Structure 1
């Protein structure tokens, strides 16, 4: 069934009937694309985005008719065959099989229905703010030559960074890092390293290491299976120093989505927790987040097992996370961490690991871990019960038939948890602001429509949760000069009503999905998590702030006289709600009514 929208005519073709996507469900696919040129396993949407970069569809009617015709034929041949939703966010009928349903005719509705017209902004139900539109940013190629050593020692107590972006003014890359900066000899003399990630281009990754480190032992921790695992092994085969470690994924639709580097130096150890896949596109023109640890010195020989712990218990939590893989190879890295002094760490580790957890085990991982940390280490501020929560992410899973099924019940209860003296209740008047790019955000980005390859929200998921879109806010980062670098970063926080203070901030690999954060089962007695995720939580108490909040840094890269403890939020506050004509980016439908910044259309076929 075809549909008409302001973005052009579209059909649910075979590419639309593939797996539902959340970024942590960028389900690996080995299908080949004639012009993709990709040498590594990745998701279908990433392959299509790469194809559209190499073989763009220019903005004109002739190109559109040429490309769409095969898709129409393909759709016709699929009539009556049924289709299968196999996402890590889709609730399976059983753990061992995907949820297969008969193919239904898509309702003839306009794409405008994906955001209810004039719908009030939601705080799990209340009208909220209005902000005027912002102007376009001018792009310039960044200059090279930033001293990364000065960057690490330049008054950044949070050690939170964004990635460099190619194509913006150089001043907006001040204080930003590229992977080559992180792996630079300036940070230490590398002995060996471990890379945990979802999508990995081994050849590209090796080239990011300095020449003198390219033959040092490298462990790659991944979640690939079957054909995509074979592809990864073929990639790694030419490099004798590379070992692979497959993360166990025993629950259907789970992914290994954690993004972490363990860097062992002659001088000590460094931990890097970030949001980028190990592929070139993720380090080029996207907004990504990085937490870079201090250099951890080696403890004296014979030191007791509890030595070198931080006030945040980061050391033991990181070791416990590695041990959850149940891998002898990662036990070696746990032992290395045990031998180092991590006492200078000021962040809390917040991870997810696949499993079903009951009793006290429920609080080890996922959103219940966040709930526990907020209860134990935050101090309530007057009227803080009504402070808004913000979620910002690059993909979305199935939330259920309405907000009460997960978002505004168990998940919100964790986001609004306060000190232990306060009862944790999901307040109906707590504003919930969800930041996710619009179609125009993507169209006007540095990459153009192919930027949507890292925003894999599918039409199948969107059609089932139109209610969610009334919570949406645009991606905007003008104050940091990065509005046109699409976000692959994922952040969550709680802010004051005037958006000048935040009581906590989390940067993580976890998108807005039950697979990543966990969902309750068995009448709330069991938390089920499908995927591996990892992030770090910033709490004021760990930075010696008795007030219970961070001030928000007004300009992320400014040299102003803002306090060193002002937190650098990587996008604009207050968030700007979708307008009546704004639509969330959905990857598997065409956009043909307006060209992107490269003069092209988006035709995902």
Structure 2
């Protein structure tokens, strides 16, 4: 294609973009044309974009737009004012794509239907390291990153409860206690007048250990039971002796500040996937903190990422595992829908315990050791030892991990979608008429899935997820309905963050153009019952629901988006499973929670609601999923949206 404009027509609208030749070009130096707005692309966005643009069939594909997404000043929904963005801190999560930031975002006045918004923008000086597209080289591209600006935290920082329920002394306040007084805490009533006892909420939610993150700018009742990172790291959950943080996008100064002051000098290991200059910058960011050590994850297959998001917390009282979906940057814990699995507090085993001691019915301990061992890093040796020294027998979830490699033989079913399929075959309960039980996938990024649905999505991937017990392994998988929940343009436009929320949803036009068939599976993001319809999802969930959506056969929360890089792709006629990235999630099966029917009932409401039944699973968005209408379009992050301002009066004009 040479110049001009290319168009993609589907039943869900027409997308108009520059031709691929133009997308390949450097950001223009001359005047005219859209340029970068205030903020550049965050590294996690680049990560997911790499998944979407490049797979094993596309190493020679063109870059999908040398430049970053548009952004702007923005405030809470309905705030009536904007906040100027402060300069980005020097941090691994705040590295710039360009050499200097733009300072004048597109801001519309009261909408005038007859007037196009101005494109008066400050232009960036191009850099050899700019751009978020993927090179055609087999060498892993060195993507530069910029986090959204770190501002003073606005969310409610109070903890939801202690490690154990104990008698609370009267008269104690709601602030963080010292490590020695973790039991002496009493929650303060929420600002809307409801008395929501977070201690009791934590006790109820222990049934599943599944939480959402707190969202700033929504009613307090809709944050009932939700957690902020400061809650997780507070003394109420344990007296931290050391911790390990596994993540993709990491702002080290911000992360250190999330720990209570008394824990900020405790040993902290950060496991990352940075390379070359990005790695050097991360080391520079860590230098002021002598307690921080870095461990680089090996990424030996091109375009893989270290996308896992996990915390390992060693306490004086025991050990805890937290598997979640948030990057370690401020914006991911501010106004997005994120998911968390919080383990029980694991006690230390007696000295001299056997290797098999402390195992759960889900083999979680063995699988966690296998996952950590897959890094082949001496730096993780002590954490493998910590896992082995604790009793993880109370764990009720199954670990579903991905690790880079071409896995064969017995190793093949230890990872990715084949691991999920194996557990569903071995442990899930069969259902009547399984072909009528739909699969639901919900994610924040989409990979290149092939020319049609048979290439991966509705073949090997759906076959793994459609399994329910050995008797129904792969039975009628082609008939199982599939619903894919992904935000529309309108979802993003009307969100709390407005268009900048789309920077966390990096579905690229170069990928969308190749798979217009995917739109027939799309459903809108809708979370009215949890009060989070306007908090865009960075959470990733997968589930199998009954025909009336009132029950679940299983549920997964994970870091893995809908991509072959994350879940794996069969090669050599099924002889091996090729995975590019590190990913981690947990699988909930009803029988592991003592539900003999083999089905979770579905709870729809605040998550988790203070009155929720212990065995009613708190689904984070509305069921049944709502199919796209003929007017709905999936959010594409690297095309302009100038026709209507967002909730904060801004438009979206990527370069």
Q: Which band: TM-score by shorter chain?
A: 0.7 to 0.9
**Aligned match for 1:37, one of 69, 76, 88:** 88
State the superposition RMSD in angstroms.
Answer: 3.2
CA distance, structure 2, for counterparts of residue 205 and residue 142 of structure 1:
15
1:200 deviation in Å? 0.3
**Aligned match for 2:573, one of 480, 501, 523:** 523
In structure 2, the partner of 1:58 is 107
Distance 1:443 1:13, change over 3 A: farther
SS at match of 2:312: strand
1:287 deviation in Å? 0.2
In structure 1, the partner of 2:582 is 532
Distance 1:557 1:396, change over 3 A: closer
In structure 2, the partner of 1:356 is 406
The answer as to 2:395 corresponding to 1:388 is no
- The structure with higher relative contact order (CA 8 Å, sep 6+) is 1
**Aligned match for 2:328, one of 263, 275, 278:** 278
The answer as to 2:15 corresponding to 1:11 is no
TM-score of the superposition, structure 1-length normalised? 0.84
The answer as to 2:266 corresponding to 1:216 is yes
Distance 1:556 1:384, change over 3 A: farther
Q: How does 1:24-423 map to 2 (within 5 A)?
A: 24-26=47-49, 37=88, 39-41=90-92, 55-59=104-108, 63-67=117-121, 86=134, 145=158, 147-149=160-162, 150=199, 151-423=201-473
CA distance, structure 2, for counterparts of residue 250 and residue 56 of structure 1:
39
CA distance, structure 2, for counterparts of residue 446 and residue 490 of structure 1:
19
1:156 deviation in Å? 3.4
1:409 deviation in Å? 0.1
Structure 1, unpaired ranges of 5+ = 75-82, 99-140
1:425 deviation in Å? 3.9
SS at match of 2:479: coil
* Residues matched between the structures, number: 545
Point out the more displaced range, 491-500 or 375-384.
Answer: 375-384
**Aligned match for 2:527, one of 460, 474, 477:** 477
**Aligned match for 1:569, one of 619, 626, 633:** 619
Point out the more displaced range, 552-561 or 538-547.
Answer: 552-561
CA distance, structure 1, for counterparts of residue 544 and residue 94 of structure 2:
32
Structure 2, unpaired ranges of 5+ = 26-40, 52-62, 70-84, 110-114, 142-153, 163-198
Cα-to-partner distance string for 1:281-325 (whole Å, 9 max, x where unaligned): 000000000000011000011111110000000011101100000
CA distance, structure 2, for counterparts of residue 15 and residue 316 of structure 1:
50
Point out the more displaced range, 281-290 or 54-63.
Answer: 54-63
User: Do the aligned partners of 1:285 and 1:446 also contact (CA within 8 Å) in 2?
Assistant: yes
1:428 deviation in Å? 2.6
CA distance, structure 1, for counterparts of residue 283 and residue 591 of structure 2:
45
User: Do the aligned partners of 2:539 and 2:557 also contact (CA within 8 Å) in 1?
Assistant: yes
Q: How does 1:447-462 map to 2 (within 5 A)?
A: 447-462=497-512
User: Do the aligned partners of 2:91 and 2:285 also contact (CA within 8 Å) in 1?
Assistant: yes
Distance 1:406 1:344, change over 3 A: same
User: Do the aligned partners of 1:7 and 1:590 also contact (CA within 8 Å) in 2?
Assistant: no
